[in-house]
Amino acid sequence: MQGAERRARDPGGKTAWKTHIIRQLRHRDHAQLVFQELIQSYNKLLEKSVFLKDLTDKIQTDPIVSPGVHHAARILSEGPPVAVLADPPALQQEIAELHIYNGELAFQACELKKKVQERDEELKRQKCSISFLSTQVDDHGRQCQCLQDETARLDSSNADLKRDYDQLLAQRLLLEERLHEAEEQERELIGTMTKKKALEAEHQNNVNERRKEEMWRRLLGKALRKTVSAEGDIRHRLHTDLCDSSSLEMSGSPEIEKTISRKSRSQSMISLGSSKVMGALRSLFDFRRPQDDCSMDDDWYHHPSVCVICCPPRRALYSKEVHDSEVHAVKFSPTSRTVATGGADRVVKIWGVLGGQLQGQQVLQGSNGGITSIDFDPSGAQLLAASFDGSAHLWRLDSKSSEKLTGHTGKVTAARFKMSTYRAVTCSMDRTVREWDLHKASCVRQIPVPSYCSDVVCSDSYMISGHHDKKIRFWDSRSPHCTHEVTLEEKVTSLYMEPEQTQLLSCSRDDALRLLDLRTMSVHLVFRADGFKCGCDWTKAILSPDASYSMAGSSDGTIFIWNTRTGLLEHSLPGEHSVAVNAVAWSVSGDYVVSVDRGKKAVLWSEY
> What is the average pLDDT across 260-287?
39
192 compared with 40, residue with greater pLDDT: 192
Tell the burial category of 211 from Cβ atoms under 10 Å away from its Cβ (0-12, 13-18, 19+): exposed
Domain extents in the chain: 315-606
Q: Is the pLDDT of residue 309 over 60?
A: yes
Model confidence band, residue 149 (pLDDT cutoffs 50, 70, 90): very high
Stated length of the chain: 608
Choice among 58-62, 359-363, 370-374, 399-403 with the minimum mean pLDDT:
58-62
Lowest mean pLDDT among 289-293, 309-313, 549-553: 289-293
Distances in Å between the Cα of 563 and the Cα atoms of 368, 373, 582, 602, 608 are: 40, 26, 21, 24, 19
Contact 544, 497 (CB under 8 A): no
Query: What angle do helix axes 88-244 and 16-58 make, rounded to 10 degrees?
Result: 10
Residue of 302 and 343 predicted with greater confidence: 343
Cβ neighbors of 335 (< 8 A, separation 6 or more) are 302, 304, 380, 588
Q: What is the mean pLDDT of the chain?
A: 79
The residue among 482 and 212 whose pLDDT is bigger is 482
Query: Does the pLDDT at position 554 exceed 90?
Result: yes
pTM here is: 0.52
* Mean pLDDT on 212-230: 70
Q: What is the tens place of the pLDDT at every residue in 228-268? A: 444 444 444 444 444 444 443 334 444 434 343 444 333 43
* Closest listed residue to residue 307, CA positions, set 457, 516, 498: 498
Of the two residues 222 and 267, the one the predictor is more confident about is: 222
pLDDT value at residue 94: 78
CA 262 – CA 400 distance, rounded (Å): 73
How far is 189 from 532, CA to CA, in rounded Å? 57
**Residue whose C-alpha is closest to residue 592's, from 604, 580, 576:** 604
3-state secondary structure 344-394: CCCCEEEEEEECCEEEEEEEECCCCCCEEEEEECCCCCEEEEEECCCEEEE
SS3 (DSSP) at 199: helix
**β-bridge pairing 581-586 and 569-573:** unpaired
* Domain 315-606 superfamily per CATH: YVTN repeat-like/Quinoprotein amine dehydrogenase (2.130.10.10)
CB atoms within 10 A of CB 352: 15
DSSP letters spanning 207-237: HHHHHHHHHHHHHHHHHHHHHHHHHHHHHHH
Cα–Cα distance list, 494 to 127, 176, 420, 508, 587 (Å): 72, 37, 22, 7, 18
Mean per-residue pLDDT, 323-350: 93
With vertex at residue 32, the alpha carbon angle to CA 30 and CA 38, rounded to the nearest 5 degrees, is: 115
- Over the stretch 571-581, which tens digit does the pLDDT of each residue have? 999 989 999 99
Distance from C-alpha of 34 to C-alpha of 26, rounded to nearest angstrom:
13
Q: Using one digit for the tens of pLDDT, what is the confidence trace for 72-97?
A: 555 545 544 444 444 567 777 877 88
Distance CA 571, CA 584 (A): 16
DSSP string, 104-132: HHHHHHHHHHHHHHHHHHHHHHHHHHHHH
pLDDT value of residue 301: 40
Model confidence pLDDT, tens digit, residues 389-402: 999 999 998 877 78
Pairing mode, if any, of strands 442-448 and 512-517?
unpaired
* pLDDT higher at 346 or 293: 346
